[in-house]
Structure formats: C-alpha cells, structure tokens
Amino acid sequence: MSPSRDAQKPAASSSQFRLRAGIGNDLHRLVTGRKLILGGVRIPFEKGPVGHSDGDVLAHAVCDALLGAAALGDIGRHFPNTSARWKNAPSLLFLRRVRQLLAAAGCTIVNIDVTVGLERPKLASHIPRITRRVAVALGLKPDQVSVKAKSGEGLDAVGRGEAIRADAVALIQVRRP
C-alpha cells in the first residue's frame, strides 16, 4: 500500500519563513482648530496635530514600523508631504496601501504594538475602537494589534500638551524565495 499524496507533501515549516521587526515613530505639534484622529478614530478635543494629511501619528508610526520591517523605505517615500494627493488624506488609506505593499513583497503581518504619548485627553475609552479600525485596515484580528496610551507626566512637549507622539513596533513574516 502506497502512502497518500498528502503524506508525500512536505509540511510547511518555519524554515520557509523569516521573521523581521520594524520600529516606527511620529511626532506632531498640536494646535487649536485641527481634528484629533488616532487610528482612524476622531477623538473629541479642541486641538489636533499639524500635518499634511490628517496627522494621525498612530497610523504614521505603524506605517513606518511595517515598511521598515519589510525594508521598503519609510512613510515619506510612499506618501510625500509635498504631494497634493495626500493633502488632508485619511491615514487609514496609508495603512491599507502599506498592507498591499507588504503583500506584494511576500510579507505577512504577525502583530503590531503602538504606544501613544498624549497628555490629554485620556484615550482609554477610545482604545478598543482604535484597535478595531487599525486591525480592519491591516487585515488583522484585533488581538494582533496592541494600542496603549501614556501621558507625558508634564515633561517635554508631550507633557506640556504641545505635541502628540506615537511609537510602534511591527513583527512580520517574510516568505523565503
């Protein structure tokens, strides 16, 4: 009796993949009259980030982390702030486009972890919605996306309420050729 066809196929192994990590960060000055958008979610507040697009620091940091992990450059290369195309653009579009770039390069997102630095408003009640929006934009499950918020404890531009920042780490899996 001969073995079944399935038994003859080599099983996919972790040696067929490489793991790569990337780090991203973004920092924007806060001004009165701009919308505060994080992970595609509008947060009620009197200030928002100055930026060419919607200034979504969380999305920008995640884009840079993913692009860096895949060695595909940075957000400025793909979405230059000199382009009218990206003026006031929603940054969730950037996340969707980065997802496509990674897929074309044979990369799969394993997970992302983001920390937003903002003195106020408090973000805890918005984090579940932000997590879901980012997960959908990247084609991930919500448990593959971690979003945290920290205050600046009154220190530096973030702590004085003058700026918002985000730091992100991304882990991707790359298929070996």
pLDDT of residue 14: 55
Domain that holds residue 112: 17-175
Average confidence (pLDDT) over 111-128 = 97
Residue 119 falls inside a structural domain: yes
Q: Is residue 9 part of a domain?
A: no
Q: Which of 2, 175, 137 is nearest to 56 (CA)?
A: 137
Query: Is residue 4 domain-resident?
Result: no
**Amino acid type, 172:** I
Report the CATH number that the domain containing residue 110 is assigned in CATH: 3.30.1330.50
Decide if 29 is inside a domain: yes
Are 39 and 59 in contact by the 8 Å Cβ rule? The answer is yes
Q: Which stretch of DSSP H or E encloses residue 114?
A: strand 107-117
pLDDT in tens, 157-167: 999 999 999 99
Mean pLDDT, the chain, as a whole number?
90
Let me know if residue 86 belongs to a domain.
Answer: yes
pLDDT of residue 177: 65
pTM of the model: 0.88
Q: How many domains are contained in the chain?
A: 1
Instruction: Name which residue leads in pLDDT, 90 or 124.
Output: 124
- Tell me if 127 is assigned to some domain: yes
Predicted pLDDT of residue 65: 98
To the nearest 10°, report the CA torsion of 60, 65, 150, 140: 90
* 24, pLDDT greater than 80: yes
User: What is the mean pLDDT of the segment spanning 11-19?
Assistant: 70
